[in-house]
Amino acid sequence: MAQFNLKDARDLVVLATGNAYLQAIAGAARVETAQAQVETGHALYDKAVAQQQAGVAPAIDTLRAQVEYQTRQQQLIAAANDFAKQKLSLARVIGLAAGQEFELAGKAPYQAFPIPDLETSVQRAYSLRSDYKAAQRRLAAAQLERSAATAGYFPTFDVAANYGEIGKVPGDVLPTYAVAGTLNIPIFQGGKVHGDVLKAEASLRQAQAQMADVRGQIDQDIRNALLDLKSSSDQVEVAQSSVNLAEQALTQSRDRFSAGVTDNLEVIQAQEAVATAHENLISSLYLHNLAKVSFARALGRAEEGVREYLKGK
């Protein structure tokens, strides 16, 4: 069972490492988004200052734009700090030397993931999960232990035999042999055997309970993973649509502000909507990819699954 425990531990390491990596990827995306928001805020502030100096916009527009610009700067600082800490966590999880600098190779990958069939996934997990195989071995060992204990009630028959030669000189050697049979009937060992049987039956019931618990856990893990896959996939689709709509609204608001149709309050609100939409997209991408890793872990093939399901990175 040691190899099954080792495989299960490796799957847990893959899950932890994948989670840390996806968190770092999401942190990098937040820094990139925050930087873009700072640049947009700076452009809006410059536009408001120019219009105020030209006498076509009130000072309140400049103040609002300045507040928005500084708010975006604060968010960028916070995002960069969070990303730096996420990189430290990732480095520790994967075993890099303390203080070693590294850069992430890719961005948050997204690839549509067909939702697998529940029953097929559960059966695959029963055939692949190391903890389930270990539980099967424990159950088989407990059954053999009970059979051995029950056999203590049965009589046993032993046969011993030997053959040799005896004599003073080689010419006078005579063959010798002996055969003996022993019948052992456990008349006075009933109490000991009964105790051994009770102990073996208790171990068997415990192994059966553990087996049922592992089966239930596998079923729950698969169901949870499939629910997360479906929910996160829907969230990604909605978030992508929201980003497109929010960016269109921001473009139209900036055009209206440049034409003098409205003040920059509408632009700032549109910029807030864009920032919120991007944050929702980043979070949904993280959850979607984490759901893929969790599904691979639930199947019992975390190492292979991560390479397969995140190949779009």
Mean pLDDT, all residues of the chain: 86
For the cut 90, the answer to whether the pLDDT of residue 246 exceeds it is yes
Spatial distance between the Cα atoms of 266 and 51, rounded to a whole number of angstroms: 16
Spatial distance between the Cα atoms of 283 and 266, rounded to a whole number of angstroms: 26
Q: Which residues of 46-78 are buried (b: 16+ CB within 10 A; e: fewer)?
A: ebbbebbeeeebeeebbebbeebbebbeebbee
* Confidence (pTM): 0.76
Q: Are 22 and 293 in contact (CB under 8 A)?
A: yes
User: Which helix (DSSP H) or strand (DSSP E) does residue 165 occupy?
Assistant: strand 156-166
For the cut 80, the answer to whether the pLDDT of residue 242 exceeds it is yes
Tokens 């968010």 correspond to what residue?
A: 75
Interior angle at CA 24, CA 20 and CA 29, nearest 5? 150
Q: State which amino acid sits at residue 163.
A: Y
pLDDT given for residue 56 in this prediction: 74
Per residue in 6-16, pLDDT tens? 777 888 888 88
pLDDT given for residue 52 in this prediction: 81
260: left (phi over 0), alpha (psi -120 to 50) or beta: left
Taking residues 88-113, what's their average pLDDT?
79
Per residue in 71-86, pLDDT tens? 999 999 999 999 999 9
Domain extents in the chain = 2-154+190-309
Spatial neighbors of 184 by CB under 8 A, at least 6 apart, are 155, 156, 157, 158
**Tokens standing for residue 205:** 């019931």
Q: How confident is the model at residue 210 (pLDDT cuts 50, 70, 90)?
A: very high
Per residue in 117-175, pLDDT tens? 999 999 999 988 888 988 998 999 999 988 888 888 888 888 988 888 887 777 777 88
Per-position DSSP letters for 207-243, written without gaps between them? HHHHHHHHHHHHHHHHHHHHHHHHHHHHHHHHHHHHH
- Nearest Cα neighbor of 93 from 158, 28, 155, 19 is 19
Spatial distance between the Cα atoms of 238 and 250, rounded to a whole number of angstroms: 18
Per residue in 163-189, pLDDT tens? 888 877 777 778 888 888 888 877 777
pLDDT given for residue 313 in this prediction: 45
- Nearest Cα neighbor of 285 from 221, 225, 234 is 234
CATH architecture of 2-154+190-309: Up-down Bundle (1.20)
